[in-house]
Amino acid sequence: MERKPRVLVVDDEVYLREIIALDLERAGYTVLQAANGHEGLAVVRNEAVDLVVSDVRMPSSDGIELLGKIRSLDPGHPAFVFITAYSDISSNEALHLGAEAFLRKPIEKDELLEVVSQALIPREARWSRTSTDYDEARLIEDPSRDILGQERQGARQIVLGQGGMFLAIKADQPACYEIVQIDLTCPALKSGRLSGYGRVRWTRHEASEGLPAGAGIEFMWLEDVSRRDLVEFLAENKPTAYVPLGGEKA
Amino acid sequence: MNEMLANRTSRTVVVSEASSVRQMLSDAVRNLGFLDVTVLASGQDVLRYFEVDDCDWLILPLLAGGDVNALQILRTVSQNARLHRVRTSLLYEVNEEAVLPAAFQLGLMSSHPRSYLRDDVIAEFKSLIEVFDACGGKSTLVAAEYLRRHLFKAKQFEADLSLEESLLSLFPGSTNLLLKLGEAQLLTGKRKEGLQTLHQAGLIDDKAKEYAEKLAKRLLNTEIGLDEYDGVLQNVLGIETCVLVDSDSSVLNGIKDLLQSAGVPRVETFDNGTSAWEWLSSHDEPDLILQEWRIPGLSGPMLLQRVRQHGFCRTLVNIVSSVIKPNEVHLLREMGVDDVIAKPFARNEFFKSIIWTIQQNVSPTERTSLERKIGRLLRFGQIHEAERLKSAFLADNRIATAPKRLMEAEFAFHYGRYREARDLGIESLKLAGDTLRLLNLVGKCLIKLGDHAAALKFFEKAHSLSPLNIEHLCNLAVCHFDTGNNKAALDTIGKAKQLDVKNALVGHTECQLAILTGETKRAKELMGQLPSLGKIVGYMNNRAVALSRCGRYDDGIKLYMQTMESLPGDWGDTHDIVAYNLGLAYTRYGDLPLACGQLEAVLKRPSAPLVRRAQSLLARIKNAEATGAAITLYEAPPLDDAADRDTDSPVDASEQERAGGNGASSTISLEIQRGDLCLYGIFNLNKLDRDSARMLEKIPHFVERSAIERPENMTQIHAKR
């Protein structure tokens, strides 16, 4: 029989931690607990953990430090979800550091269970699911031809992460949370192409601080070849980001 | 959008009196990659050239002693819409510096000390191109940079201060301009204001903080902690009222603090949608709404739709949320949401989003921003400005053909050219598939054209894509009725009521359906709840006229009767309007006694504005009855949705003559706006210097030749080159 998924809850507030643990146990998960980053790291080192749900602000060793240490052990595992209050950390930075989702305080049970169950789906399974949400997705492709029909130079800049990518988009950006279809030249992958659907997690309207304008896109569904290539790429290159902030100036 | 220096295909005109200098300048410009260069010898030649030809970049000396001088040319450019694209660089001698402010006031882009060495000229223009790139291709900012250099050199700090204030209002939230403003304030002795402005720049952008501190230290020669400074805040964003809605009080307080630090005078906070709506529905339209998508009480999507339905279409809306479902993102686009910020966010990101939103609204460059802005302008009948932006949209070669066709379709719809609008819409659909905007537009066209069955398909698709959109449901309900499916119509309006029973459009549509299905009792009840009856009566009138047009006179008259019966007790003017329209319908039908009956009823209440028209019509009928002559009715205007929009004025009586919208696009004059032509309208001297005044005394002869193309065509030709 398959073992129950194991979730580590890290929070210095005992009361909140217990509530979360209770909700998760009732939903059929095995729950481990830790009161700060140090304890949390010790649990991850010593036991099988599939998902970490951690507060950001904690005395002595905070959630951001914990995430950094866990990712230096293994860039792709376990999945990591932040519990945040207003202005603890910005979502694009957290995604860059390797977290993949957020739980807002005060935590609502439905949201907790939804986020946790999503985060526990393994990558390849996640990228194989189809959905009607994809039907009307806007296509983002390489800027291949200009209006004179002449070939334009260069593909879009892509930086790949464990769960998504940074994609440079200068004009006509999608909206945050929009589902987009992608069909792009991606030299980092074996087949040289990246095709599928993704969800926009954040947008950067204008280039700033050395980072080009573009969007952080989480992969939703990938074509077989792209999926296989990406898994291979991640195994080889081990990026720590879930969705990267972007690379050098395009 | 003006890519004149970024894109080396610009048409350049170089002017100099001496042929050797002309040759050298032309060589220098070609050396930089501008290959389309025309060389002219005098100011007179420039004007002759401008009368018939097109130019992007004009490079010339002041020509102070010439037949036509540079200032006169600048003035001519500013006064002729077709020439507003011309960017001018002036090559000045040292003793000519005094006229520079006047030249910038007239729309100059850049000023360069005159040199006769090719390499110097190349270096000057290279530097111009760098400034141009650094300013993101905005020639207003390029001109500001050159003028600023001159004003600093001449120590005209007061003039610089007024320049910076004016620029900030055009580029709200720009930290760069805030720093410049702070500097100008300090240099003019406004110490308190200057420090406060620099402090605010630091609050908005961390990167600016360090620079602001250095600047304050250099100018005041003292160590000053900007954080400690507490004075009058500059309203950096140009926003007077902002409404915040979020259930999390720490978010509300945090954002409120941020906005107040940016000098927003009024910030109203609400922790649920219901109380936010109560406030919004009883106050003027705010400048900005920042709302979480998941809010208690009235939900985020429903609040947003009520706000738009209420007629608040100018207000900018940013959604701040940690999650939005895929099928709800459509609704965001449809409701013209300006930006979505993912929660949690950092202060810098928050300000970047808000400032981007405001700047895109002031001068849109992104496709979606242009579409939103044009939509807003059309809704408010600001057709000139809308046409102007449409030209820019159509000329923008980054934008694909499908959105352009859709844009043209929306204008055609606005002008009442429904067939054309439908065809353009379908062309767009073939090119790039359907989008909600497209489905909605084609659906509305089909309704206007009487093809209800086809319209039904479009609205059904729109509803399936964006299930929370109340407008789609209402359109769909009416379509169901029109295709004879009353049950589906009632089911659909029921669904809309479930989403938000208090939405104005839902009440309105339910009432329409009650009248149409002849449930006059229910209709009367519903009408009593509506704030205004003008809209519904207008709708019924248009419908009745449409019915008569396709020969269904009886149905048209029945509809008037049903409308009349449904009117609640206190009819007032509304009753007269329906009665008059009914009288008119009878007249068309040839049933003159019944027509007279209705018109005489109208005349019983001598207060209504329709009395004159009713009298006139009645007199013509009586005359016709007496003499047997035909009754002259004035040509009816084409049906359009003007009456739907116009809620309070009397419904378009078919007799009324109205100026058609057709062809309006070709006759409008494109008035110059702030930001179109460098600093024109932005920088204003109190008084011209003596030299400039003298140079501008004469107005040179300039007549555009009739052979030249119209501006719209020209932009397109340019885009294809």
The reported pLDDT for the residue numbered B209 is: 85
pLDDT band, residue B140 (cuts 50/70/90): very high
Nearest to B349 among A85, A90, A94 (CB): A90
DSSP state of B316: E
Cβ-Cβ contacts under 8 Å, B352 against chain A: 205-206, 208
Nearest to B366 among A147, A171, A201 (CB): A171
| pLDDT tens by residue, A185-240 | 888 999 989 999 999 999 999 888 788 899 999 999 999 999 999 999 999 999 99
Sole residue written with tokens 């120590």: B155
In whole angstroms, give the CA distance from residue B548 to residue B555. Answer: 8
Cβ-Cβ contacts under 8 Å, A209 against chain B: 207
More confident residue, B537 or B154: B154
Mean pLDDT, rounded, for B417-422:
93
pLDDT band, residue B711 (cuts 50/70/90): very low
B266 pLDDT more than 90 = yes
The reported pLDDT for the residue numbered B624 is: 81
Q: CA B7, A142, B410 angle in degrees (round to 5)? A: 75
- Determine the residue type at A250: A
Tell me which chain A residue has its CA closest to the CA of residue B258.
A87
- B337–A87 CB contact, under 8 Å: no
Tell whether B306 lies on the interface with A, counting CB pairs under 8 A. Answer: no
- B344–A133 CB contact, under 8 Å: no
The alpha carbon of residue B327 is apart from the nearest alpha carbon of chain A, in Å, by 7
Nearest to B248 among A86, A146, A176 (CB): A86
B78 pLDDT more than 50 = yes
- What is the Cβ-side half-sphere exposure of residue B72, based on CA atoms within 13 angstroms? 22
| pLDDT tens by residue, A42-77 | 999 999 999 999 999 888 888 999 999 999 999 989
HEC assignment per residue over chain A: CCCCCEEEEECCCHHHHHHHHHHHHHCCCEEEEECCHHHHHHHHHHCCCCEEEEECCCCCCCHHHHHHHHHHHCCCCCEEEEEECCCCCCHHHHHHHCCCEEEECCCCHHHHHHHHHHHCCCHHHHCCCCCHHHCCCEEEECCCECCCCCECCCCCCEEECCCEEEEECCCCCCCCCCEEEEEEECCCCCCCEEEEEEEEEEEECCCECCECCEEEEEEEEECHHHHHHHHHHHHHHCCCCCCCCCCCCC
The reported pLDDT for the residue numbered B598 is: 83
pLDDT band, residue B609 (cuts 50/70/90): low
B128 pLDDT more than 50 = yes
CB-based contact A2:A28 (threshold 8 Å): no
Q: pTM of this prediction?
A: 0.81
| pLDDT tens by residue, B279-316 | 999 999 999 999 999 899 999 999 999 998 888 888 99
| pLDDT tens by residue, B395-417 | 887 788 888 999 999 999 999 89
Tell whether B352 lies on the interface with A, counting CB pairs under 8 A. Answer: yes
- What is the Cβ-side half-sphere exposure of residue A29, based on CA atoms within 13 angstroms? 25
Tell whether B204 lies on the interface with A, counting CB pairs under 8 A. Answer: no
Cβ-Cβ contacts under 8 Å, A102 against chain B: 322, 343-344
- B322–A199 CB contact, under 8 Å: no
In whole angstroms, give the CA distance from residue B643 to residue B534. Answer: 9
| pLDDT tens by residue, B561-571 | 888 888 876 65
The reported pLDDT for the residue numbered A146 is: 46
In whole angstroms, give the CA distance from residue A57 to residue B57. Answer: 57
**Structure tokens that stand for B604 in this block:** 């019983």
The alpha carbon of residue B250 is apart from the nearest alpha carbon of chain A, in Å, by 6
Which residues 391-410 of chain B have a CB within 8 Å of chain A?
Answer: 397-399
Mean pLDDT, rounded, for B632-650:
41
Mean pLDDT of chain B: 84
- B251–A202 CB contact, under 8 Å: no
pLDDT band, residue B500 (cuts 50/70/90): very high
Ranges B294-308, B313-327, B507-521, B560-574, most confident: B294-308
Q: A177, A209, A218: which to substitute to probe chain B, counting the most B Cβ within 10 Å?
A: A177
Tell whether B40 lies on the interface with A, counting CB pairs under 8 A. Answer: no
B471 pLDDT more than 50 = yes
The alpha carbon of residue A140 is apart from the nearest alpha carbon of chain B, in Å, by 12
The reported pLDDT for the residue numbered B233 is: 76
CB-based contact B563:B555 (threshold 8 Å): no
The reported pLDDT for the residue numbered B410 is: 93
The reported pLDDT for the residue numbered A6 is: 95
Nearest to B324 among A146, A172, A177 (CB): A177
In whole angstroms, give the CA distance from residue B394 to residue B417. Answer: 19
Tell me which chain B residue has its CA closest to the CA of residue A169.
B366
pLDDT band, residue A154 (cuts 50/70/90): low
Q: Which domains does chain A have, with CATH numbers?
A: 6-120 (3.40.50.2300), 132-237 (2.40.10)
The residues facing B268 across adjacent strands are B243
